[in-house]
Amino acid sequence: MDDVVIKYVTRKPRLNKPIFIEGLPGIGNVGKLAAEHLIEELNAKKFVEIYCKDFPPQVFINRDGTIKLVNNELYYWKAKKKRQKDLIILTGDYQGLSSEGQYELSDKILDIVESLGAKQIFTLGGYGLGREIEKPRVLGAATSRELVKKLKKHGVVFRENEPGGGIIGASGLLIGLGKLRGMEGACFMGETPGYLVDPRSAEVVLRVLTKILNIDISFSELQKKAEEIEYIAEQLKELESLSKKGEERKDIDYIG
Amino acid sequence: MDDVVIKYVTRKPRLNKPIFIEGLPGIGNVGKLAAEHLIEELNAKKFVEIYCKDFPPQVFINRDGTIKLVNNELYYWKAKKKRQKDLIILTGDYQGLSSEGQYELSDKILDIVESLGAKQIFTLGGYGLGREIEKPRVLGAATSRELVKKLKKHGVVFRENEPGGGIIGASGLLIGLGKLRGMEGACFMGETPGYLVDPRSAEVVLRVLTKILNIDISFSELQKKAEEIEYIAEQLKELESLSKKGEERKDIDYIG
Amino acid sequence: MDDVVIKYVTRKPRLNKPIFIEGLPGIGNVGKLAAEHLIEELNAKKFVEIYCKDFPPQVFINRDGTIKLVNNELYYWKAKKKRQKDLIILTGDYQGLSSEGQYELSDKILDIVESLGAKQIFTLGGYGLGREIEKPRVLGAATSRELVKKLKKHGVVFRENEPGGGIIGASGLLIGLGKLRGMEGACFMGETPGYLVDPRSAEVVLRVLTKILNIDISFSELQKKAEEIEYIAEQLKELESLSKKGEERKDIDYIG
Amino acid sequence: MDDVVIKYVTRKPRLNKPIFIEGLPGIGNVGKLAAEHLIEELNAKKFVEIYCKDFPPQVFINRDGTIKLVNNELYYWKAKKKRQKDLIILTGDYQGLSSEGQYELSDKILDIVESLGAKQIFTLGGYGLGREIEKPRVLGAATSRELVKKLKKHGVVFRENEPGGGIIGASGLLIGLGKLRGMEGACFMGETPGYLVDPRSAEVVLRVLTKILNIDISFSELQKKAEEIEYIAEQLKELESLSKKGEERKDIDYIG
């Protein structure tokens, strides 16, 4: 068995200079939420399943009792209008567990998208701030100054020393390894507290991305998810404040 | 030395569409207990020893002072009656230590059982609840909806979101990778507190499995083991309650 | 660079059915102390250096300021008398860090000693008891019942369930993998508290081994080392008791 | 993708028996600071970028918003005067994460520098003392007694049992593996508290190295960095002492 197994579930699609978009699990699950929402809204078609020895040895159980071996998946979407581009979208259950696996996976995935004509990569992720945010911004990093300039015009924020540690994982590696192959690329990072999955951050990332891609999609499903999460977050806060009051109560009893 | 070493200890057996059954160490040791009991009751014959760099570098010492390098083993059993099927049974000392080793081992083992004609896989394991159970159920997951339907008739329970994290380790991987090869498969998970080895859970798993396989075996040895474990568990509880009383005693002394 | 690099520092020696003896770092450093003492007393000749990616990336600094890349080494000794056998002795700075490295190293080393005609392996180690011992015994484990019987006559002790977890590391793996190649082997484990390096345990192991090998060596150097260690151990105990008294003193001050 | 990817960014330079110098991240960052300063002062030219699966899967973000995949880099410098030698200088963002990666990287880098004619290696690092130092010394270790003798004349200090654990990482491995190839080498270790990056220690290391290499460079940039660090260190100390006083204050309040 190869370290990375590429399984085509349809014929190799013919695409016209597609743009490659990545959204895998990470901080706030921002990238994965964004990529999945894009796939759903565009009704993109799955054409490759990727299995890897560096994913956990795990199957998930679907609602109907059937199993699914954990994987990554590639979807494609063909442009409908003149100013749009064909897309390849990557999402999945996990990133590689080890450094070596991460490099191996990114390299194999770049092989596929390059063979389909992709020359541009946009990776999506979260930028964890560890605090509540009024209005999340979208931070960026790119493979060239020209692209930085272009993205600034679309509202992407470039800040010195943010994120300080650079970009860790597939979102960084794909544009880093892509650059070595002469591909253009950028990473969009939605600010997020990072405590819970963050559909609101995924939305702002997607709003920037779809504007750049000249694509028009609905965000209502993401907004519904955001409301659900906000409800859960409030419940958690209430629980916490109740338990604190309980403790204070105890303190009083104790003192009394 | 190959990462996985396959050593045939007899000639390759000729089997008629055998069913492949797995029971390796895991939660409550349910799978291993069940597989070993089945091997013993059927008097199945060992034909392959599997050594692997991803097992610990360890030998066990037998009662007679001789050593045994830790391994996995394959046994076969030929059907005695018309409605029965030939079996291949996997058990062993360890699962692979790393993710990569797990994939490598499962893949190599599937190579062997496929080359012997196996098209169906049943994996056995425990589902740890972390609490005492009145009557353990057998939960299931399978590679197709048809198989889910069939297994439900035999009393296998399918619950949404149970187990929540899916199936981790060889029991999941073998049916997951098997499915990619076009093999049919299911995992039977006996509910277990998960604190101690659990022969009672192994028994309920085996009762379901043997009914499906039209095999009639005695469970008295498993029941004897279950009684031994229950005796040990009670001793442990008594010890615990004694030590608690001791502590209360101390508290009184202290206060007094 | 290969995972394991074998470097001959002399011509390959011609040996007559040599016995292969291993003593690498481990509990109480018993095996390494024994192997090094044997090499010194027999004036055995180094002929192979083994370097491995699974050793730490480390050089030691010799007394004269020169460096030594950490390694394992093979020595040989030619029998002087009729009832003696040629020997190959393995010792070194480290065992492999990972499970995979342990298997790889043991396998490569067995390749070498087998190519030199070795058919018998004796591995040396410590059996950590975690308590002081009046008179350390030598426990054993072997590849066959015949060998167990023979070794019992030489005073090697075989106890059911001792050591409970079997033998972990090179001492177990070499006889385990050797057995798969049809080689005979045994492991000698000197009982040791396991807190400090234990030359006394190394001595009892070597006394048994040299009797079996019909070799007559002095143990005075090991005994000197044992005295040094015992002196250090006593110093440590005194320090400890002093610091305890100091604490009691403090308690008194505090109360007073 | 190979485990180690060597990317020439210029034509392979023609060098005359160059000396290979290494300075990678480590204790006090002494080696990296020294190598980077040397590169800057000599205006050495980058000719190789090294990417490796054993580096973290990470890109850094430059000040202008562009990215850089983490790597190691080789620079060369051609001798300007008669008594000087051509140089190859290695620096980078990380050392290999695993033992195996460290060996693999060092081996591949030695392949390159050997192919360019290098026969001598000087590696630079820090020797962490865990305490403040008045005047840091430069400790050494070398591949031969002759070199030890030569280096002593240049003020390199050789002390028995210092550093006790030998040299861990690329600085040790490169001269250790180099020695196996018949290359001459030495490691220079600047004493450092090891708490913060230490340009002062890097300076003393470079002063010794440049004297040996007959190279004349300015140290003012390193000295500026040292002043910055000393300023930061003082700020930290003040902060600490303030917070201690605060605590004492609290204690008083509490008592009062």
Tell me: do B15 and B140 sit in the same domain: yes
Helix (H, G, I), strand (E, B) or coil at B134: coil
Tell me: do D75 and D11 sit in the same domain: yes
How high is the pLDDT of residue B255? 44
Determine whether the interchain pair A166/D58 forms a contact, defined as Cβ–Cβ distance below 8 Å: yes
Question: In which domain, by residue range, is A234 found?
Answer: 219-256
Tell me: do C178 and C245 sit in the same domain: no
Query: How far B67 CA lies from chain C's nearest CA (Å)?
Result: 6
Tokens standing for A25?
Answer: 């699990």
Helix or strand holding residue D188 (H, E)? strand D184-192
Nearest CB among C51, C55, C58 relative to D166 is that of: C58
pLDDT band at D254 (very low <50, low <70, confident <90, very high): very low
Tell me: do D79 and D153 sit in the same domain: yes
Checking if the pLDDT of B254 tops 50, the result is no
Tell me: do A117 and A104 sit in the same domain: yes
ipTM (interface pTM): 0.91
How high is the pLDDT of residue D160? 82
Nearest-angstrom CA–CA distance, A139 and D198: 33
pLDDT band at B256 (very low <50, low <70, confident <90, very high): very low
Determine whether the interchain pair C141/B69 forms a contact, defined as Cβ–Cβ distance below 8 Å: no
Residue type, C90: L
Tell me: do D68 and D160 sit in the same domain: yes
Determine whether the interchain pair D69/A177 forms a contact, defined as Cβ–Cβ distance below 8 Å: yes
CATH code of the domain in which B101 resides: 3.40.50.10900
Q: How far apart are the first and last CA of chain B?
A: 69
| Cβ–Cβ < 8 Å for C17, C183 | no
- Looking at chain D from residue 75 to 114, which residues have their Cβ under 8 Å from any Cβ of chain C? 96, 99-100, 102-104, 106-107
Checking if the pLDDT of C250 tops 90, the result is no
Checking if the pLDDT of B192 tops 50, the result is yes
Q: Does B9 touch chain C (CB under 8 A)?
A: no
> How many domains is chain A built from?
2
Helix (H, G, I), strand (E, B) or coil at B86: coil
How high is the pLDDT of residue C242? 83
Q: Does D9 touch chain A (CB under 8 A)?
A: no
**Other Cβ atoms within 10 Å of B21 Cβ, number:** 28
Determine whether the interchain pair A57/B170 forms a contact, defined as Cβ–Cβ distance below 8 Å: yes
- Range list of β-strands (E), B112-155: 120-128, 138-142
Tell me: do B50 and B78 sit in the same domain: yes
For A89-104, the pLDDT digits (tens) are 999 999 999 999 999 9
Strands B167-168 and B120-128, by their bridges, are: unpaired
**Other Cβ atoms within 10 Å of B178 Cβ, number:** 26
Tell me the whole-structure pTM to 2 decimals: 0.92
Tell me: do A233 and A117 sit in the same domain: no
C175 half-sphere exposure, CB direction, 13 A CA radius: 33
How high is the pLDDT of residue A160? 82
Q: What are phi and psi of B243, to 5 degrees?
A: -70, -30
For C169-223, the pLDDT digits (tens) are 999 999 999 999 999 999 999 999 998 999 999 999 999 999 999 999 999 999 9
Query: In the predicted model, what is the mean pLDDT of residues A234-240?
Result: 88
Nearest-angstrom CA–CA distance, B78 and B85: 7
Checking if the pLDDT of A77 tops 90, the result is yes
Tell me: do C198 and C183 sit in the same domain: yes
Nearest CB among C172, C179, C187 relative to B57 is that of: C172
Q: Does C123 touch chain B (CB under 8 A)?
A: no
Checking if the pLDDT of B162 tops 90, the result is no
Determine whether the interchain pair A142/D97 forms a contact, defined as Cβ–Cβ distance below 8 Å: no
Tell me: do C64 and C118 sit in the same domain: yes
Checking if the pLDDT of D252 tops 70, the result is no
Helix (H, G, I), strand (E, B) or coil at A124: strand
pLDDT band at C160 (very low <50, low <70, confident <90, very high): confident
How high is the pLDDT of residue C251? 53
pLDDT band at C256 (very low <50, low <70, confident <90, very high): very low
Determine whether the interchain pair D143/C61 forms a contact, defined as Cβ–Cβ distance below 8 Å: no
Query: How far B110 CA lies from chain A's nearest CA (Å)?
Result: 11
Buried b or exposed e, range A214-243, using 16+ CB within 10 angstroms: ebebebeebeebbeebeeeeeeeeeeeeee
Q: Does D3 touch chain A (CB under 8 A)?
A: yes
Query: In the predicted model, what is the mean pLDDT of residues B215-225?
Result: 97
**Other Cβ atoms within 10 Å of B184 Cβ, number:** 17
Show contacts of B71-74: CB within 8 Å, 24+ apart: B72/B24, B72/B105, B72/B109, B73/B46, B73/B48, B73/B49, B74/B46, B74/B47, B74/B48, B74/B50, B74/B109, B74/B112, B74/B113
**What is the average pLDDT value for chain C, to the nearest integer?**
94
Tell me: do B123 and B250 sit in the same domain: no
Query: How far A207 CA lies from chain B's nearest CA (Å)?
Result: 32
Chain B adjacent subunits, 3+ CB pairs under 8 A: A, C
Q: How many CB pairs under 8 A join A and D?
A: 80
| Cβ–Cβ < 8 Å for B175, B113 | no
| Cβ–Cβ < 8 Å for A113, A170 | no
Q: Which among C219, C224, C59, C27 is positioned nearest to C133, based on CA atoms? A: C27
Tell me: do D143 and D238 sit in the same domain: no
Q: Determine which of B103, B123, B151 to mutate to test the interface with A (most A C-beta atoms within 10 Å).
A: B103
What are the angstrom distances between the C-alpha of C2 and each of A206, C7, C59, D17, D108? Answer: 47, 12, 19, 27, 12
Checking if the pLDDT of D251 tops 60, the result is no
Determine whether the interchain pair A67/B143 forms a contact, defined as Cβ–Cβ distance below 8 Å: yes
Tokens standing for B26?
Answer: 């895991």
pLDDT band at D244 (very low <50, low <70, confident <90, very high): confident
For A158-214, the pLDDT digits (tens) are 988 788 889 999 999 999 999 999 999 999 999 999 989 999 999 999 999 999 999
Q: Determine which of D9, D59, D104 to mutate to test the interface with A (most A C-beta atoms within 10 Å).
A: D59
How high is the pLDDT of residue C209? 98
Determine whether the interchain pair C173/B53 forms a contact, defined as Cβ–Cβ distance below 8 Å: no
How high is the pLDDT of residue D247? 62
